[in-house]
Structure 1
């Protein structure tokens, strides 16, 4: 349920609440807000109140399933007290050193954010986007929220997700759908749709997401943001299982590559060291890599290109004109920066670029975990038709067929590095057509709903199967104000390189 955006009157709020002068976070980057807070030009309470006010003012976008403004403001007040105690009583020389140490230990100090409602955050209800199961309120954070909170970030609530995070649109029976700030009649994507909507609308400066088949990149593309999917096992709080059964990873969503790098460094557990560039605050390796690329350029890279989808020929994939323009403009930006763009729809020279039977095999992989559920009749009836369809598919599929599909995708995943061929980066379109209107996917029969989701996002899930990192980079805005993107797929361990590429492509 969505809680009120203002502290309840019977609970004591922080004693020092400056009058808010900000309406949202689009006036500056997360890095700029970080610098201002450490320097004392803005307080954590002011930033948190801005996030809460923006969420209340734009609640029609459906970004949140739950808001907890009072707890957020109390934590912000505590952070301000700590900051004052550390910095304000020192001499100017000692103060500078203390600022640097504080920013290194807590690189997200006072930064408002929110986690999607698939993760546990202490004291906030976890619904997983379903009305079929009762919400539970955990006493402890999941590992990723714990890490982000330890870096000084302040969670103001839980963001909207589809049921169990399964579809690529964030709609459920619990609260209004997550709408696209660029076109509110359209979906913000999924499953990190609420988080992307919050960042795109300026309710948050940045947000962590998770990506099991495109769930960071799809909403980032829909809302005109940078979205990074790290490789399998790259982040310490993700499952460290080298198998295609382990599809989901965590990744940052932000307006800029620098902001995404800041959050990625925190999520990756990187150490923040003194930096001589930009704001002078300590930076992690990803942020330093992006800044170096922005200031000095990058070494020449070889970019392969394909517009062939792994869902073809089982599904007819048709790219909108703007999707093609976004790919072309992204490739042109890469060439302008000295990179070599090569390839065609079959850029490895193979007869078919992707593995045979991918559509069938991925559907088996995606739905198999649902076959292990044993919901009651009442729970099943409370689930969305698409979820029920997935459960039925999984339970009715012969075990031999499931094993065959997973084995085929395991073989493909094992050869993912070789599959990249001679290219450092593989480029594809991101979304095939514009984000549909709210309710359109759900209005379809479940089988066609799933097929349309594959047609809408024809290049994302295969990267999860391969276990490689990929980034969404906005490259084109159409006449209606909708954003279109290119997807860049990298080799294992190339997350920092992808962020640097995104930074240079969007520079200026």
Structure 2
């Protein structure tokens, strides 16, 4: 894909200490004595200090809290207290999720100076699992955008190419993992906000089933669609974190997914408009499945456009209602583009919002029918590569094409509407930029998707895109 030319040369930051490292690898180093939680914390802080002036993945870094939590983790291990696979590992938390004593600003001047009094439930569960919270990662303002370049904290840059956007709205979390600043990170996903930046930055991302991870203590965008998700080096790591966040206890020993027979996979045709996709991206994703022996069945699922319309009506109505008072009384505190989008969303008729829920119910039944005959649904996560920062119109080949926002969300938002679990898995590159496979499954079948992801990751014929050069 040829995007608008950039005046900046393509650059990448040096890889950080966690780049490409999995949670089991780090946990093994910690328990063998090859490293300590304190050393991992210092490594994270040094990496952020070195690379974040360019990447801008973190809005706030809690140096004192990081070192204190790491000291506690080391003391507990020395005393025989092992809280599980996340014990002592550094994590970034999206600036939509409350961490007691730290700011939660949602990337907006409206919330400048706001400090959380309590931990969100997902954060409380991370602490109980021994996690070391390094700080708050950047977000597109109020999580209302898939680009990651509209925030009071400035744009987040893609570690694979600093002239490119990270994707959003959880761009800071994806960039922090891709740059090797932390072992994993939390994000939120309302229409693709975990999977889109995961795809553009070349890391794994997971949006669980709707309601699987509690959202109390998480600033909402659209309550009917909001999910808490995970970004990490691998899909297996995402599933490990998810199981801890979704569990009632946090010290369970979850085994890795075992071997599975070749799954039945539906490849959705016509899921993205021609003006919103690069055929080279689609080809890389298809070949990633073929190379591991999966012959996906092409399915022309006609509900995709209808689902996108229903998603837009629900998200737009709920987001504009949530921010109505701010739009009325302090519009100047918004980023202009975010404000314009909220105002447009406020024009959605009430009947369209109510009709969207009826559409959602019918489409969910059709998705269930599709999954009755298949174990997984597959497609690209994003049908383009990361556009340059601040780009709003695509150029495919030599011709102008669709809107960047529409392309980025074209293959992800349906699964928020239907509440199905969805993974994004790096599978290769186009023009040196990451390309990702999206796998959707029923709730409870996440291990099947993870097993496929692990097979893809082990395939030596595929160009690795999960690691920085």
Same fold? TM cut 0.5: yes
Q: 1:334 to 1:205 in 2, by over 3 A?
A: same
Distance 2:136 2:202 in 1: 21
Distance 1:145 1:435 in 2: 30
- The superposition leaves residues 390-412 of structure 1 with CA deviations (integer Å, 9 ceiling, x where unpaired) of 33234333322322233222332
Alignment of 1:329 with 2:281, yes or no, is: no
Aligned to 2:310: 361
List runs of 5+ in structure 2 lacking aligned partners. Answer: 1-14, 395-399, 460-469
Report SS of the residue matched to 2:275: coil
* Aligned equivalent of 1:288, options 256, 267, 280: 256
| Shift of residue 386, structure 1, vs aligned partner | 3.2
Aligned to 1:6: none
Aligned to 2:247: 269
Distance 2:407 2:127 in 1: 37
* Aligned equivalent of 2:77, options 74, 83, 104: 83
Alignment of 1:74 with 2:42, yes or no, is: no
Aligned to 2:25: 32
Alignment of 1:305 with 2:267, yes or no, is: yes
Question: Comparing 226-235 with 392-401, which one deviates more in the overlay?
Answer: 392-401
- The superposition leaves residues 142-185 of structure 1 with CA deviations (integer Å, 9 ceiling, x where unpaired) of 10011011100111110010011010111234223111111110
Q: 1:355 to 1:170 in 2, by over 3 A?
A: closer
Q: Is the 8 A contact 1:170 1:177 kept in 2?
A: yes
Alignment of 1:57 with 2:50, yes or no, is: yes
Report SS of the residue matched to 2:119: coil
Aligned to 1:8: none
Report SS of the residue matched to 1:231: coil
Report SS of the residue matched to 2:420: coil
Q: 1:481 to 1:283 in 2, by over 3 A?
A: farther
Aligned to 1:142: 120
* Aligned equivalent of 1:341, options 296, 301, 305: 296
- The superposition leaves residues 335-356 of structure 1 with CA deviations (integer Å, 9 ceiling, x where unpaired) of 2xxx452224x1xxxxx62156
Report SS of the residue matched to 1:306: strand
Aligned to 1:226: 204
Report SS of the residue matched to 1:483: strand
Q: Is the 8 A contact 1:24 1:51 kept in 2?
A: yes
| Shift of residue 220, structure 1, vs aligned partner | 0.8
| Shift of residue 384, structure 1, vs aligned partner | 2.0
Q: Is the 8 A contact 2:96 2:188 kept in 1?
A: no
* Aligned equivalent of 1:469, options 421, 424, 441: 421
Q: Is the 8 A contact 2:230 2:242 kept in 1?
A: yes
Distance 1:27 1:366 in 2: 34
- The superposition leaves residues 57-81 of structure 1 with CA deviations (integer Å, 9 ceiling, x where unpaired) of 0011010011111121122122222
| Shift of residue 421, structure 1, vs aligned partner | 5.0
Aligned to 1:198: 176
Alignment of 1:246 with 2:192, yes or no, is: no
Distance 2:327 2:315 in 1: 22
| Shift of residue 49, structure 1, vs aligned partner | 0.7
The TM-score with structure 2 as length reference comes to 0.85
Larger-gyration structure (1/2): 1
Question: Structure with the greater relative contact order (CA < 8 A, sep ≥ 6): 1 or 2?
Answer: 2
Q: 1:355 to 1:503 in 2, by over 3 A?
A: closer
Once the two structures are superposed, the pairs formed by residues 343-492 of structure 1 within 5 Å of their partners are 343-344=298-299, 346=300, 353-354=302-303, 357-372=306-321, 373-375=324-326, 377=328, 379-441=330-392, 451-478=403-430, 480-492=431-443
Distance 1:442 1:300 in 2: 39
Q: Is the 8 A contact 2:121 2:214 kept in 1?
A: no
Report SS of the residue matched to 1:65: strand
Q: 1:376 to 1:248 in 2, by over 3 A?
A: closer
Q: 1:164 to 1:414 in 2, by over 3 A?
A: farther
- The superposition leaves residues 75-112 of structure 1 with CA deviations (integer Å, 9 ceiling, x where unpaired) of 2122222322x1xxxxxxxxxxx4xxx43x34311111
* Aligned equivalent of 2:107, options 122, 129, 143: 129
Aligned to 1:43: 36
Q: Is the 8 A contact 1:300 1:340 kept in 2?
A: no
Distance 2:196 2:368 in 1: 24
| Shift of residue 269, structure 1, vs aligned partner | 1.7
Please tell me the root mean square deviation across aligned C-alpha atoms, in Å: 2.7
Q: 1:253 to 1:397 in 2, by over 3 A?
A: closer
